[in-house]
Structure 1
Amino acid sequence: MKSIFPCLVFAMTLMTQGHMAEAQDADGSMQIIVASPQQLSVTQSASKTAGVSQVSGQSAKTLYGDPTKPGLYTVLLRLEPHKRIMPLSHPDSRFVTILSGTFYVGFGNAYDETKLNALPAGGIYTEPANANHFGETRDEPTLVAITGYGPSGTTYANPADAPSTVKK
């Protein structure tokens, strides 16, 4: 089993750097990123980003790597208020860090509000490979950083819950 500690260290390094530059050159080399959560611009629709839930009201930006290919990646995901993510899983293990707002996350094959854990900015959780999890935002937008080792993807526990834009 691969250690996920290097992934966490990488994600934390990205988040503690200041103003934001483009995250990655076309050749795949890492750019310097210095940004607070308020300075991060995440406005592109998440509909074409692998490894995220694809619910409406999400935007995403890949900071490093490519979630569709083998290797380390980090994706910023912004969720609008009052968004619910039904149970889903990913083929890769990932770390998630809440950068702003509060994200409510739970684990299991069925959505169960009593299993939600409120994680404010600074909170973290892991998504073990193939572990179904679900979540929601409430009255505020939420920004999270997801770091994993691809390739990634998204599989809903109940296929009927999957938005029609999900690419598996």
Structure 2
Amino acid sequence: MKSTFPCLVLAMTLSTQGGMAEAQDAVGPMRIIVATPQELSVSQSASNTVGVSQVGGQTAKMLYGDPAKPGLYTVLLRLEPHKRIMPLSHPDSRFVTVLSGNFYIGWGDAYDETKLKALPAGGIYTEPADTNHFGETRDEPALVAITGYGPSGTTYANSADAPSEVKK
């Protein structure tokens, strides 16, 4: 797996005035958002959200930017209980925070339950560009925030695992 240090440096660079101004030009000024995980409404189908797995039982809400276009974006993704995401990758590096529930994440080209690590609310992980990862929820839903620098997309390690509506 590639080092996550370059991704963190990129995130820090973007948080500077110059980097953030460049990202804001693409989508307009950032809105002020203050909410607990319980206050977040994530009710739109994720079927048209670029850069997510498109597995049924997901809802999404764009908080900032557009993962289909160049620039900074953040998407909230809610996964219903008992959802499995087969190995996939994205062309952009991303940073993920579990906001509520438990999310189980692993890396590799084949789904392997023994490689899953349980992340409770407050847990974080990175998705380095072009690195296959997989995950699941168990008896409860999970809410995660995904931040990356687009354009994004989704490529399944095994194309037979891809839901028909996945956008590349």
TM-score when normalising by structure 1: 0.87
> Does the residue aligned with 1:95 lie in a helix, a strand or coil?
strand
Residue 7 of structure 1 deviates from its aligned partner by: 8.2
Shift of the 53–64 alpha-carbon distance from structure 1 to 2, 3 Å rule, reads same
Instruction: Return the alpha-carbon distance in structure 2 between the equivalents of residues 8 and 82 of structure 1.
Output: 35
Which SS does the other structure have where 2:114 is aligned?
Answer: helix
Aligned to 1:114, the other structure's residue is in SS state helix
> Could you report, residue by residue, the CA deviation over 1:109-136 in whole angstroms, capped at 9, with x for unpaired residues?
0000000000000000000000000000
CA distance in 2, matches of 1:9, 1:34: 18
CA shift in 2, pair 1:47/1:105, >3 Å:
same
2:122 corresponds in structure 1 to 122
1:113 aligns with 2:119: no
> Which residue number corresponds to residue 95 of structure 2?
95
Matches within 5 A, 1:48-87: 48-87=48-87
**Runs (5+) with no aligned partner, structure 1:** 11-23
Map of 2:149 onto structure 1: 149
Q: What displacement does 1:5 show?
A: 3.5
How much is the aligned-residue C-alpha RMSD, in angstroms? Answer: 2.0
Structure 2: 5+ residue stretches without partners: 1-5, 17-23
Distance 2:103 2:139 in 1: 10
Structure 1 vs Structure 2: percent identity of aligned residues? 79
- 1-structure distance, mates of 2:10, 2:88: 21
Specify the SS of the correspondent of 2:167. Answer: coil
Normalization by structure 2: what TM-score?
Answer: 0.87
Aligned to 1:45: 45
Q: Is the 8 A contact 1:7 1:72 kept in 2?
A: no
Give 1:29 deviation, angstroms.
Answer: 1.8
3-state SS of 1:48 partner: coil
**Deviation per residue, 1:52-107 (Å, 9 max, x gap):** 00000000001000100111000000000000000000000000000000000000
Counterpart CA distance in 2 for 1:6 and 1:87 is 28
Tell me, in whole angstroms, the C-alpha distance in 2 between the residues paired with 1:81 and 1:47: 18
Aligned mate of 2:12, from 2, 6, 13 = 6
CA apart distance, 1:30? 1.1
Distance (whole Å) between structure 2 residues aligned to residue 28 and residue 111 of structure 1: 39
1:2-50 per-residue CA deviation (whole Å, 9 max, x = no partner) reads 624438979xxxxxxxxxxxxx9xx622111010000000000000000
